[in-house]
Structure formats: structure tokens, C-alpha cells
Amino acid sequence: MGDDQLKWTELDRRTLFDARIFSVTNRVCLSPEGRREPFTVIETNDWVVVVPVLDGGEAFFMVRQWRHGSREISVEFPGGVIEARESPLEGAARELREETGCVAGKLTKLGVMSPNPAIMSNRVHFFLAEDITVAGDLQPDKDEFITAERISAAEVTRGVGSPPYIHALTATALCFYMRLNRQKV
Amino acid sequence: MGDDQLKWTELDRRTLFDARIFSVTNRVCLSPEGRREPFTVIETNDWVVVVPVLDGGEAFFMVRQWRHGSREISVEFPGGVIEARESPLEGAARELREETGCVAGKLTKLGVMSPNPAIMSNRVHFFLAEDITVAGDLQPDKDEFITAERISAAEVTRGVGSPPYIHALTATALCFYMRLNRQKV
């Protein structure tokens, strides 16, 4: 079966619910065999995740914070929502600065993925941050209580999949980093 | 700053919107410094992702399908929603059977993460599937048009972050697999 036999066509889209940070739409789509089906999709802005590398890859700069969805402490790579009129690269530099107080001499794109292509419309952009220097204090949003800390790459690699390394997109970013390191070696 | 100084307390929860596959709640929480803030959270069932290993790790069994959120073809590890009264392990075996037609002689837990701890309440459980045998035809849901195929581990590892390897949770699962292989070597 070719890709054309898997592809659906969108016929109609209607907003069902609108929150500040995302909206929910009903999309009526036509199946490859010509059947109409409704799908519920979460529409939101693109996100960015940054892997700040320290000490030549021996460690990362990570962010520790309370997460309201999972209701627990999460230690994760810095990241967030890309703002309007901001490129993914600019969003990466801003989130790094706000959440860790650092600036990167070099920001390299690692890849782009869909956080959940089944039910979410947006993409998440991954960047590697190198030549890190501390530029000042953290600048969290008013509802963020966060700390930033150096954690060894070995600990993060061992830890993903168990608290506090619970954020799937941190493991996605680590996958890119591991791939890069393999190619270097 | 200790974890106690990062922790919020939930005071109230109210459903704002209810879809078939998830609901949206408003959670009013008390900050570490005693301020009340509302947070919007997507509440949904836990998910499962399975890494079906073929030929001693040379290849994976992957699923190709149209995804309605990102509106493109995605090649990803089999997985889906864990049903009521089903354990994560049972969900893994069922999704593997439905989406690839295969059964696994051995299913091993790789880790548990939060797909997005900021705005989603649920967890995603990752399993390694070994000793794979083909048991019959695929059993897709009525709105699924999917194909299953053997793809070399090298191609998937090279490909994540570019179409059709766009699903972030496929890269999360690959991170677990790469970690496992490192430890073996």
C-alpha cells in the first residue's frame, strides 16, 4: 500500500474550545476509501527544547520545576513555547536565557518532531547549545518557580524514565544528543 | 532551593471541556509562596509505546499511518491508549498485535514518562518486545489505515527528526533502546 492510500483529506474544521495556551478543533476528514470521520485535535504554537552542553559533553544544564499536568517535580532540558514573530532559533536562545541564565556561543538545530502527531497540530524544535556562559539571573515567568543546575550526562542518561527525569521530550532531545555522540565517536 | 520550595498544592479542579479522547480541566493551585493561580490541563488515559526488535537488534517493526494532528504520514513504533481494566503490559501486547500482527515472546518495561508534564496528566509506558512472531493480519480500529514494515535500526536512528520519523515518542523510545544497547556493549 502506497502513502496515497493512507492519506486523508480535511473537509472542515471547527473550534470546539479555546484556552489561553491551546485550542481544540473538530476536523472532519475524508478517508482514503471515501468515508467521512471527525477527529479532535489540540492546536497550539510550536515549542522548543534546548540541550545545553557543559564541560565538552560531560554534563548538561537542566531545569528543575513543579509540573502541573503530572503534579510532580520534573528535571528537564530548558524549553517552552515559541512566541509570535520569533524563529525557533530565537525561541531557543530566549528560553535558555530565561530558564538557566545562560547564553550559548553556538546553537545548532538537532531536528524537528511532532510532540504527538495523532492529536496535536504543533511541532517541537530541538537545538544543541554549546559554548555556554552565565549571563545573569534566571528570568522565569510569574507562575514559574524554577532552579537550574549542572547534572552529569551519565546521570541524566541513567535517569530518564524514572523521577525526576519524567519529561518525554527531554528523552527525545537526549536521543538526538546520543545519536550525535555516536557519530562523533 | 529544595524541592519543597518548588511544590504547588491543588485547591480545586473543574472540567472545562470534554472530548471523547481527553478532557480539559482548570486546576486552581497554590504557589510555594502562597499565591493562587489557575492552570489548564489535558486529562487523558495512559499510553503505551512498544519497540519491536527484529534480527537481534538489526531492525524494528514499525507502523506507517496518516496522522490527523500533524497532517502527514508518520512512521513510528506501535502504540496507543491503554484501555480500562488493562495493565500497561497488556496494552503493549494488544497494540503490538493490532498494529503489526505480531506477538512477542518477551515484553520488558523500558521506562515510564510524562508525554508533557506541563499540560498533560497522563503517563506513557515504554516496552521492549523481543522474540517476535507474526500471528496474523493487522487489526486496526475502524478509523485507522495503517501498514507495518521492517525498517533497519540504522535507518530509524538516522531518520528521527525528519519526515516520516516525526513522532517525538518514537524518539523517546529510541533513547531507551540506545541506552540499553550501550549498556550491553
* Residue B23 CB neighbour total at 10 angstroms: 15
Which residue would you say has higher pLDDT here, B182 or A150? Answer: A150
Region A3-25: mean pLDDT is: 92
Please give the Cα distance from B132 to A169 (Å, whole number): 28
Nearest Cα neighbor of B95 from B50, B134, B64 is B50
Contact B3 A37 (CB under 8 A): no
Q: Along the 185 residues of chain B, how does pLDDT read in single tens digits?
A: 678 888 999 999 999 999 988 999 999 999 988 999 999 999 999 999 999 999 999 999 999 999 999 999 999 999 999 999 999 999 999 999 999 999 999 999 999 999 999 999 999 999 999 999 988 888 877 777 889 999 999 999 999 999 999 999 999 999 999 999 875 43
Residue A105 shares a structural domain with residue A19 = no
Residue A133 shares a structural domain with residue A161 = yes
Which of B175, B180, B185 is best to mutate for the A interface (most A CBs within 10 A)? B175
Contact B113 A178 (CB under 8 A): no
What φ, ψ does residue B54 adopt, rounded to 5°? -115, 155
Residue B69 shares a structural domain with residue B37 = no
Residue B79 shares a structural domain with residue B129 = yes
Please give the Cα distance from A147 to A8 (Å, whole number): 44
- CA distances to A158, B14, B41 from A171, in Å: 11, 31, 22
Residue A101 shares a structural domain with residue A157 = yes
Region A134-141: mean pLDDT is: 82
Region A126-139: mean pLDDT is: 92
Which residue would you say has higher pLDDT here, A182 or A13? Answer: A13
Residue A140 is placed in which grid cell? 522565569
Residue A60 shares a structural domain with residue A145 = yes
Indicate the residue of B126, B143, B160 with minimum beta-carbon distance to A37: B143
Query: Looking at this predicted complex, what is its ipTM?
Result: 0.94
Residue A23 shares a structural domain with residue A51 = no
Q: According to the model, what pLDDT value does residue B1 have? A: 67
Q: Is A184 helix (H, G, I), strand (E, B) or coil?
A: helix
- CA distances to A77, A101, A108, A124, A169 from A89, in Å: 15, 17, 8, 12, 17
- Rounded to two decimals, the pTM is 0.94
Residues of B numbered 28-47 whose beta carbons fall under 8 angstroms of chain A's beta carbons: which are they? Answer: 29, 31-33, 37, 39-42
Q: According to the model, what pLDDT value does residue B185 have? A: 36
Nearest Cα neighbor of A180 from A51, A46, A47 is A51
Q: Is A139 helix (H, G, I), strand (E, B) or coil?
A: coil
Q: How many domains does chain B have?
A: 2
Q: According to the model, what pLDDT value does residue B140 have? A: 78
Which residue would you say has higher pLDDT here, A145 or B89? Answer: B89
Please give the Cα distance from A164 to A166 (Å, whole number): 6
Q: Which residue has the cell 510532540?
A: A115
Please give the Cα distance from A15 to B174 (Å, whole number): 35
Residue A165 shares a structural domain with residue A134 = yes
Please tell me the distance in Å from A103's CA to the nearest CA on chain B: 22
Q: Where are the alpha helices (DSSP H) in chain A?
A: 88-100, 153-159, 168-184
CB A56, CB A134: distance < 8 Å: no
Residue A83 shares a structural domain with residue A151 = yes
Contacts of B142 (CB under 8 A, 6+ apart): none
What residues does A26 pair with on adjacent strands?
A: A14, A40
A33-51 core/surface letters (b: 16 or more CB in 10 A; e: else): eeeeeebbbbbbbbbbbbb
Please give the Cα distance from B115 to A168 (Å, whole number): 5
Residues of A numbered 126-145 whose beta carbons fall under 8 angstroms of chain B's beta carbons: which are they? Answer: 126, 143, 145
Closest residue, chain B, to A29 (C-alpha): B68
Tens-digit pLDDT profile for residues A38-82: 999 999 999 999 999 999 999 999 999 999 999 999 999 999 999
Q: According to the model, what pLDDT value does residue A151 have? A: 97
The three-point CA angle A44-B158-B139 to 5° equals 65
Tens-digit pLDDT profile for residues B28-39: 999 988 999 999
Please give the Cα distance from B25 to B44 (Å, whole number): 11
Q: What is the CATH number of the domain that holds A145?
A: 3.90.79.10
Residue A52 shares a structural domain with residue A122 = yes
Q: According to the model, what pLDDT value does residue A123 have? A: 98
Region A125-149: mean pLDDT is: 88
Residue A147 shares a structural domain with residue A164 = yes
Q: According to the model, what pLDDT value does residue A182 have? A: 75
What is the domain range of residue A100? 47-184
Residues of B numbered 145-184 whose beta carbons fall under 8 angstroms of chain A's beta carbons: which are they? Answer: 145-147, 157-158, 160-162, 166-169, 171-172, 174-176, 178-179, 182
Q: Is A93 helix (H, G, I), strand (E, B) or coil?
A: helix
Contact A171 B171 (CB under 8 A): yes
Please give the Cα distance from B97 to B139 (Å, whole number): 7
What φ, ψ does residue A168 adopt, rounded to 5°? -55, -35
Please tell me the distance in Å from B136's CA to the nearest CA on chain A: 18
Taking contacts as CB-CB distances below 8 angstroms, the residues of chain B near A167 are 113-114, 116-117
**SS3 per residue for chain B:** CCHHHCCCEEEEEEEEEECCCCEEEEEEEECCCCCEEEEEEEECCCEEEEEEEEHHHCEEEEEEEEECCCCEEEEECCEEECCCCCCHHHHHHHHHHHHHCEEEEEEEEEEEEECCCCCECCCEEEEEEEEEEECCCCCCCCCCCEEEEEEEHHHHHHHCCCCCCCEHHHHHHHHHHHHHHHHHC
| pLDDT at residue A1 greater than cutoff 90 | no
Please tell me the distance in Å from B58's CA to the nearest CA on chain A: 16
Please give the Cα distance from A60 to A49 (Å, whole number): 13
CA B184 to chain centre: 24
Mean pLDDT estimate for chain A: 93
Residue A119 shares a structural domain with residue A38 = no
